[in-house]
Structures are given as C-alpha cells and as structure tokens.
Amino acid sequence: MSLMLNLVIFVVAGAAVWIAGTRMSGYADTISKRTGLGQAIVGLLLLAGVTSLPEIAVSVTASIAGNPTLAINNLFGSIAMQVAILAVIDFIIGRRALTAVVPDPGLLLLGTLNILLLALAAAGMVIGDTAFLGIGLWAWASLIAYVFCLWLLSANDGRQPWLAASPDSRGGQPVVAREPADEEDDQRGPVERALIVRTVFAAATILIAGYGLATSGDAIAEQTGLGSSFVGFVLVAISTSLPEFSTALGAARRGRFTMAIADILGTNLINVGLLFVVDAVASGEPVFNTVDSFAVVGALLGIIVTALFLAGLAERRDRTVFRMGVDSVAVLVVYSAGLIFLFTMR
C-alpha cells in the first residue's frame, strides 16, 4: 500500500484502540467492584491480558514470517515504552506524584519480577542458546519463570505485610495512603451478561485494530527507510502500546492508580513470557541466537526504567517537577537517552 494509505490506517486504528481501551478500563473497574477482586489482580489478569493482544499478534506474525528480530525488539521496546507511559500519565493526572499515592505493596513485587525476567532474557542473549525439543533452553527458562511469577503473584494477592504511608499535608505526619476509589461503598454483586459482552467486544476491537495499527506502523517505518531493529523497538512498540496507554490512563482518571500500574507492569511480564512463543513458532535456530547487541541494550533499558519507577514507589516522595514525580522525570530522561543511543546502533 502507499505511504498515505498506511498513514490513514494507522490513524483510524489508533483511534479505535484508544476508544476501546478507555472503555475497557471502565469495564475492568466495574468487574473489580462487583467481584471483589483487588485492583492489582484485575489489572494484571484482565487489562494486561487484553492489552497484550496486539503484541502477541505482531510478534507471532513477524516470527512466523522469518523476522524474529522485529518480534523480539517489539517486545522489549514495548516494555521500555510502557514504563515511560506511566510517567506521561503522571504528567496528565498532575495532582500528586503517581508513585506517592499508590498503597498496594504488591506492585513492588510485580516490578521486581519484571526486572528478574528481563535480566534472565538479557543473559540468554549474551550467552547464546541451545535447542531442546525445538525450542531454546533460555526460552524454556523464560516460560518457567513467567509461570512461577504468576503463581507467586496469585499467592500474594490480598496480602498486605505492610501499609504504605504518605505525609499528611496538614501536619506532616505519616498517614496510611489511600486511593480515592478505595473509599467507595462496597458494590459487590453478579456480573451482568451485558457487561461481559461489552468487555469481549472491546477486547476484540483492541486485538483487530491493534494488529492493524502495528502492521501499518511497520509498513510506514519500512517505507521511510528505518532499520528492522529500530522499527520494532520504537515505532511498532509505540503503536502496540496504545491499548496500555488508553486503559491505564482511563483507570488513573478514575482514581484506580494501582490498577493502572498493574496493567502496565503485568503487560511487561507477559511480554517476557512471549519470548517462548516467538521461539516456538520461529523456524531454524533458537531466536536468542539471531539477535545482536541492539536487543540486549533494549532489555537493559527496560530494566533501568523499571528500577527507576520502583525506586519512586519505595521512596514515596510527593515532590513534583513539571507536574510529574521526580522518578517520572528520570524515567523519561533515561528512556529518551536510550532511544538516541539505540538509533546510533540500528
């Protein structure tokens, strides 16, 4: 298709993803209230699972087509991009630093597991891989680690070994942090069939439009002459991250900050687990042997920005710069510098 037609498809698909993603966050909020499930578990399982559909579609398609480099860099690019999305959401919300108002300690565990899985993937790409049953051993390790992370997170759901505190603006004394949505009355009850239908329809829209968004973005990048590695890490990753942006922003605007962060970090966890799927559908040698230092640096960038965000969650400082927490500013600076460095490596 022509560049102009691909641009039209990109814009239309982006609008569809944005609308469906915004509605999806509202449906998830209602499901969380009706079922009594925590924001973190709904964000991890429902929102993250749905918003990962474009990454799944693009990465699997690229791997089957013989381009595992695009598939892997799309996954790592989405991870780094989505942490930067949290910083952008912090700017849009703009009242207090995002990491200063989240009371759920489970998010620190989720972010730590993100870093561990990314470090495992980076080690596999540096050391090299050996096939076992047609799939690389490091890919098997990524799958096993991902399943273990899900088990650990499900066992941790609802536990609060400690409560996060925020300074009281009136007296400066620490008080237990609460999200605005936590103060609402209990609204448990059955989940109506209409809500389930609307949720499924929104998920299908995100899958179809997200795939169109990513493939047209890939075509635009190729027509403009950028390399496959940089295309996967930046343009395709940005386009497949639009569902996470819309759903996380919608959740944050409703005061569901824990759900918004769990959506992003949960999607990133899924992306590392998808390395096994990419290797399984690819032909030839293990995919970890087909990538170069570009993918390794991309994984390390994901580790660094995630660690910066976790530091903000642990420190809980409410100081803002340009309407953002200091940690969000650091994430955006490091992410931008990383993109510049990766551009020189393409």
pLDDT of residue 184: 47
Which residues lie below 8 Å from residue 33, measured CB to CB, with a gap of 6+? 184, 186, 187, 188
Neighbours of 254 (CB within 10 A): 17
How far, in Å, CA of 46 to CA of 257, rounded? 15
Q: Which whole number is the average pLDDT over 305-328?
A: 82
pLDDT: is 186 or 150 the higher one?
150
The proportion of the chain whose per-residue pLDDT surpasses 70, expressed as a percent, equals 76
H or E segment to which residue 239 belongs: helix 237-240
pLDDT per position as a tens digit, 20-37? 766 776 676 677 666 655
pLDDT per position as a tens digit, 118-145? 999 999 999 988 988 888 999 999 999 9
Q: Are 63 and 220 in contact (CB under 8 A)?
A: no
Neighbours of 134 (CB within 10 A): 10
How far, in Å, CA of 93 to CA of 147, rounded? 34
At 185, is the pLDDT very low, low, confident or very high (cuts 50, 70, 90)?
Answer: very low
At 344, is the pLDDT very low, low, confident or very high (cuts 50, 70, 90)?
Answer: confident
First-to-last alpha carbon distance for the chain, in angstroms, is: 25
Torsion of CA 146, 150, 152, 153, to 10 degrees: 130
Arithmetic mean of pLDDT over the chain: 78
Q: Are 275 and 260 in contact (CB under 8 A)?
A: no
Burial 51-83 (b: 16+ CB within 10 A, else e): bbbbbbbbbbbbbeeebbbbbbbbbbbbbbbbb
pLDDT per position as a tens digit, 69-109? 878 888 898 899 889 998 898 888 877 777 777 766 778 88
Q: Which residue is listed with tokens 């066992």?
A: 155
pLDDT of residue 264: 87
pLDDT of residue 170: 46
Q: Which whole number is the average pLDDT over 231-247?
A: 74
H or E segment to which residue 166 belongs: strand 165-167
State the sign of the Cα–Cα–Cα–Cα dihedral 143, 147, 152, 153: positive
Residue 290, pLDDT above cutoff 50:
yes
Residue 237, pLDDT above cutoff 70:
yes
* Amino acid of residue 335: Y
Select the highest-mean-pLDDT range: 60-64, 161-165, 174-178.
Answer: 60-64
pLDDT of residue 46: 61
Query: 3-class DSSP state for residue 170?
Result: coil
pLDDT of residue 164: 59
Select the highest-mean-pLDDT range: 40-49, 63-72, 328-337.
Answer: 328-337
**182-to-36, 47, 174 alpha-carbon distances in Å:** 12, 19, 18
The proportion of the chain whose per-residue pLDDT surpasses 90, expressed as a percent, equals 17
Residue 315, pLDDT above cutoff 90:
no
Residue 175, pLDDT above cutoff 60:
no
User: Among 41-50, 150-159, 196-205, 310-319, which is the least confidently predicted range?
Assistant: 41-50
pLDDT: is 103 or 289 the higher one?
289
Residue 157, pLDDT above cutoff 90:
no
Q: Which residue is listed with tokens 């480099």?
A: 69
Question: What are the domain boundaries of the chain?
Answer: 3-345
DSSP state of 185: P
pLDDT of residue 342: 86
User: Domain 3-345: which CATH class?
Assistant: mainly alpha
Quick one: which of 33, 91, 54, 60 has its CA closest to 267?
Answer: 54
